[in-house]
Amino acid sequence: MINRTERPEDNRRDWHNLQSMLPFLWEYRGRALFALACLIASKAANVGVPVMLKDIVDALDGKGEQLLVLPVILLLGYGALRLASALFNELRDTVFARVRYHAMRKLSARVLEHLHNLSLRFHLERKTGAISRDLERGTRSVSTLMNFMVFSIIPITVEFSLVALILLKDYSPVFAVVTFATVAVYVLFTIKITEWRMDHRHEMNRLDSQSGNQAVDSLINYETVKYFNNEKLEIDRYDATLGQWEDVAVKSQTSMSLLNFGQASIIAIGVTIIMFFAANAVVSGEMGIGDLVMVNAFLLQLFLPLGTLGIVYRQVKYTLADMDMVFRLLETEQEVKDAANAPELQVREGAIRFEAVDFAYQPERPILHSVSFSVPAGKIVAVVGHSGAGKSTLSRLLYRFYDVTGGCILIDGQDIAQVTQASLRKAIGIVPQDTVLFNDTIRYNLLYGNPQASQAELEKAADMAHIRRFIDSLPDGWETVVGERGLKLSGGEKQRVAIARAILKQPPILIFDEATSSLDSATEQAIQQTLHEVAGHHTTLMIAHRLSTVVDADLILVMDGGKVVEQGTHNELLALRGQYQHMWELQARDEEAEMP
């Protein structure tokens, strides 16, 4: 969401954004040029209509044989010009449709691709509702701008140029001077008043995005709103923002009425002056009736579309403001980038090594301090510790959602910062603590781990994750829709779907980040058995809070304050009688207290 007031640099941004739009049109440049040719042909025919009308009036005012022949030819020509104008107009619209909609499609896809490429930090800080509104307005603005350019601005410019050429060539310079002066005053007045009004539009955009974000945010957190009985708080907050938007919208409409009246006044004065000179010229014999009719037709033909120029200019400025949001988003730098000519990760065994890794989300708040440990190929290494010890940060760094600030992370001896992110993430499967599913079927969510998987592979993964029986019990089975963010499933069911999805991906490395936290004891034990079944084929990093889930791990790391303070097997750590043993006793007492 971007809020800004009109500044000189904004005009430079407008030109920059227009240039940035050109690549999206380049693929269909031939169509665009042909549409432009049709536009010029249409306007040439349109300007020819008043000229033909003049000849018809002059012919009807004549005597003799010409009266019997010329009007017929001229009338046919008059009709042909009107038909040609309509034909080229429709041909222009038809040809340009592909250009316009293709550009919208390409820009929308490019923005979504860019959003996916941005760092996790950006997405943790984003406001989904606001981005959704900005993206919708921004991509629509490309189509709107091209519409105005091809259907309003360029046609008016071409028609004005042709009319000016005829007036300068065949009539007194006063007609061209008054016409030019009227247009110049009109354009200057429109630009100045519209620039003054733009602050209202920017503020409307800001409040529109803010209200959209508040609405989406309250709906995403529907259960939290209900838990705390805060429906009125959410509605009042949303309505307060809309109230500010309403006040700004009223100011915008009031100032637009002032602009419209000023524009109408300028056109009325200009037309009156020109008609006064034209009528005087007819009286003095310098012009014929046909000339008066032609000049009048030119003025109507020219000033009627010019009357919409103010609306067009306003809309173009609004459109450029909307477009700027999208192009600023596209210019947002990726925090995590592939190194130049980075090779793909070559996984032979899947051994992981953290070497003196330091990391901080913000420089003033370091999270990890010289963390070093190894996860041998095919082994299970568990990481435990109190909340805030830095456990989940390890998985984010291994996935390279962030780059380490010190040290390095190696997979089979290869620094993950020097290989492509796509190949790195292809080699890792993860079951996160907070499993979020797509609002689609169970089949779709499972196949997300491997879209090419067969039904047999799908069923095998579901069996290994102990979710097959649950799926078969559902009325719609594999086609059951799980709801937005998977809310129709319980926490345990969602996590089992996530486990099956990770297994289906068949990566050499698996990460379980509190993967069994929402499971009952029986299912948890079954999943633990599953982990041991797949450990021979995967290198597994388990991040856990509940110590009972990691007792069989090949190695357990105890973290505290961003450091590895103890490591060993379950029995070895108990024998140390350190932090791990203290945590074990605390959890054992808690479990005893919870027993009936």
The tens-digit pLDDT sequence of the chain (596 residues) is 334 444 545 556 767 777 777 777 777 778 878 888 888 888 788 777 777 777 777 777 654 444 455 567 777 887 888 888 888 888 887 888 888 788 878 887 888 888 877 777 777 666 665 677 667 777 777 777 777 776 677 777 777 787 778 877 877 888 888 888 888 888 888 778 777 777 777 788 788 888 888 888 888 888 788 877 888 888 998 999 999 989 888 888 887 788 778 888 888 888 888 888 888 888 887 877 777 777 777 777 777 666 666 667 767 777 777 777 778 778 778 788 888 889 999 998 889 999 999 999 888 888 899 999 999 988 889 999 887 788 888 988 998 988 999 999 999 999 999 999 989 988 998 888 777 788 889 899 888 888 888 899 999 888 888 888 889 898 888 998 888 777 788 877 888 888 888 888 888 998 888 766 656 666 666 666 666 666 557 888 988 877 877 888 889 999 998 899 999 999 999 998 889 899 888 877 766 655 55
- 113-159 per-position pLDDT tens digit: 888 777 777 776 666 656 776 677 777 777 777 777 766 777 777 77
Round to whole Å and give the CA distance between 472 and 474.
Answer: 6
Q: Which are the contacts of 98, defined by CB distance < 8 A and separation ≥ 6?
A: 28, 31
Q: What is the pLDDT of residue 503?
A: 85
End-to-end CA distance of the chain: give it in Å, rounded.
52
φ, ψ for residue 496 (rounded to 5)?
-70, -35
- 195-207 per-position pLDDT tens digit: 777 777 778 878 8
What CATH superfamily classification does 434-506 receive?
P-loop containing nucleotide triphosphate hydrolases (3.40.50.300)
Q: List the beta bridge partners of residue 512.
A: 431, 542
Q: What is the pLDDT of residue 288?
A: 77
Task: Give the tokens for residue 495.
Answer: 């996590």
| Per-residue buried b or exposed e for 415-433, using 16+ beta carbons within 10 Å of the residue's own CB | ebbebbbebbbebbbbbbb
CATH number of 10-330: 1.20.1560.10
Q: Which of 467, 479, 538 is nearest to 505 (CA)?
A: 538
For tokens 């192009």, name the residue: 327
Q: Where are the alpha helices (H) located in 284-308, listed in sequence order?
A: 289-307
Round to whole Å and give the CA distance between 121 and 335.
Answer: 8
User: Which sequence spans correspond to the domains of the chain?
Assistant: 10-330, 342-427+509-596, 434-506
Cβ atoms of 471 and 477 within 8 Å: the answer is: yes
For tokens 């000189």, name the residue: 8
H/E stretch holding 506 reads none
Tell me if 342-427+509-596 shares its fold with 434-506: yes
Q: Which are the contacts of 449, defined by CB distance < 8 A and separation ≥ 6?
A: 429, 461, 500, 501, 502, 503, 504, 505
Round to whole Å and give the CA distance between 457 and 578.
Answer: 44
Work out the number of other CB atoms within 10 angstroms of the CB of residue 90.
12
Cβ atoms of 288 and 282 within 8 Å: the answer is: yes
Cβ atoms of 570 and 584 within 8 Å: the answer is: no
Q: Which of 478, 463, 472 is nearest to 526 (CA)?
A: 463
| Per-residue buried b or exposed e for 56-77, using 16+ beta carbons within 10 Å of the residue's own CB | bbbbeeeeeeeeeebbeebeeb
Round to whole Å and give the CA distance between 173 and 78.
Answer: 27
Q: What is the pLDDT of residue 62?
A: 55
Round to whole Å and give the CA distance between 546 and 515.
Answer: 10
Which class is domain 342-427+509-596?
Answer: alpha beta
Task: Give the tokens for residue 91.
Answer: 């041909």
Round to whole Å and give the CA distance between 203 and 403.
Answer: 37
Q: Which of 27, 43, 277, 4 is nearest to 160 (CA)?
A: 43
Q: Which of 272, 264, 268, 420 is nearest to 337 (CA)?
A: 420
